[in-house]
């Protein structure tokens, strides 16, 4: 169920539909060097998923990487009461009933491990997405800033992605572009991300990009 990408990085791919489109979803699990697991964008929790995760290690951190990926965060927080829940400040306003232990900030020390770095994509306040770098595996973790869908089963999704100009490649959709309020701020974010040392890109929607990640990110956000 959990698919390893490196010794300390695993992913779990799940079905996910939104507005009639089969986007697919993905949770990323980081095994921390000091012990325990760091979960990025937790997916729907059931017995099979919980068993698979518990077999890898104890859950220490639950991360909502933006204000949209929160549907099952409460279930995970209840199931793992000792795990710290990290989320953008905007999610506290959107879901006041959720337990949030730490508000993410790109000025913060990530705290969980020196192996992880984060950066807020400034300029898209409604999304408030943080991207993460897993240094040991040279992997960039994305959520909704860019999809990488090469084979869409639904006509509606294919049409939407082709209209957005991102079918078969890494890139933001028309909706993500429409949410941008400050291009200069987002361009500064892009330039800082491109200074990171990464090869792989793991989006929450679409295929994992194993090679050429930095070049793909440069192309994906060249419109800025």
Between 61 and 154, name the one with better pLDDT: 61
Task: Give the domain range for residue 18.
Answer: 3-220
* 157-182: average pLDDT: 93
Query: Lowest-confidence range among 44-48, 114-118, 166-170, 219-223?
Result: 114-118
Tens of pLDDT, residues 34-92? 889 999 999 999 999 999 999 999 999 999 999 999 999 999 999 999 999 999 999 99
Residue 103 has pLDDT above 60, yes or no: yes
Compute the average pLDDT of residues 115-130: 94
Contact residues for 171 (Cβ-Cβ < 8 A; gap 6+): 146, 147, 148, 164, 165, 219, 220
Question: Exposed e or buried b for every residue in 190-206, given b needs 16+ CB within 10 A?
Answer: beebeebebebbbbbbb
- What is the Cα–Cα distance from 148 to 216, expressed in whole angstroms? 10
Residue 52 has a pLDDT of 97
- Write the pLDDT tens digit of every residue in 63-78: 999 999 999 999 999 9
Distance CA 122, CA 189 (A): 6
Ordered alpha helix ranges (H), 57-94: 73-79, 89-94
Tell me the CATH number at 13.
3.60.15.10
Answer yes or no: is pLDDT of 137 > 60. Answer: yes
pLDDT at residue 111 is higher than 70: no
Q: What is the pLDDT of residue 107?
A: 64
What is the percentage of the chain residues whose pLDDT exceeds 90?
83
pLDDT at 19: 67
3-state helix, strand, coil in the chain (%, to 5): 25, 25, 50
pLDDT at 123 over 80: yes
Domain count, the chain: 1
> Could you give the angle at the alpha carbon of 26 between the alpha carbons of 23 and 32, nearest 5°?
165
Whether residue 145 is predicted with pLDDT greater than 90 in this model: the reply is: yes
6: nearest Cα among 142, 115, 152: 115
Of the pLDDT bands very low, low, confident and very high (cuts 50, 70, 90), residue 155 is confident
**Which residues are within 8 A (CB) of 94 and not within 5 positions of it... i.e. 6 or more apart?**
67, 70
pLDDT at residue 101, rounded to an integer = 95
Q: How confident is the model at residue 152 (pLDDT cuts 50, 70, 90)?
A: confident
């Amino acid at each position: 169920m959990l698919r390893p990408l490196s010794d300390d990085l695993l992913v779990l791919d799940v079905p996910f539909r939104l507005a009639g489109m089969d986007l697919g979803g993905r949770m990323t699990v980081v095994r921390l060097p000091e012990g325990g697991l760091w979960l990025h964008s937790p997916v729907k929790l059931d017995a099979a998923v919980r068993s698979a995760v518990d077999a890898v290690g104890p859950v220490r951190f639950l991360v909502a990487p933006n204000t949209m990926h929160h549907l099952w965060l409460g279930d995970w927080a209840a199931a793992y009461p000792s795990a710290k829940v990290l989320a953008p400040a905007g999610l506290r306003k959107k879901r006041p009933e959720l337990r949030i232990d730490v508000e993410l900030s790109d000025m913060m020390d990530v705290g969980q491990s020196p192996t992880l770095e984060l950066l807020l994509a400034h300029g898209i306040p409604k999304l408030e997405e943080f991207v993460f770098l897993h240094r040991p595996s040279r992997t960039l973790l994305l959520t909704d800033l860019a999809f990488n869908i090469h084979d869409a089963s639904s006509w509606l999704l294919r049409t939407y992605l082709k209209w957005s100009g991102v079918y078969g490649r890494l890139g933001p959709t028309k909706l993500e572009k429409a949410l941008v309020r400050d291009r200069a701020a987002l361009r500064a974010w892009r330039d800082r991300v491109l200074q990171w040392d990464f090869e792989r890109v793991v989006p929450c929607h679409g295929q994992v990009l194993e090679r050429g990640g930095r070049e793909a990110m440069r192309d994906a956000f060249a419109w800025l």
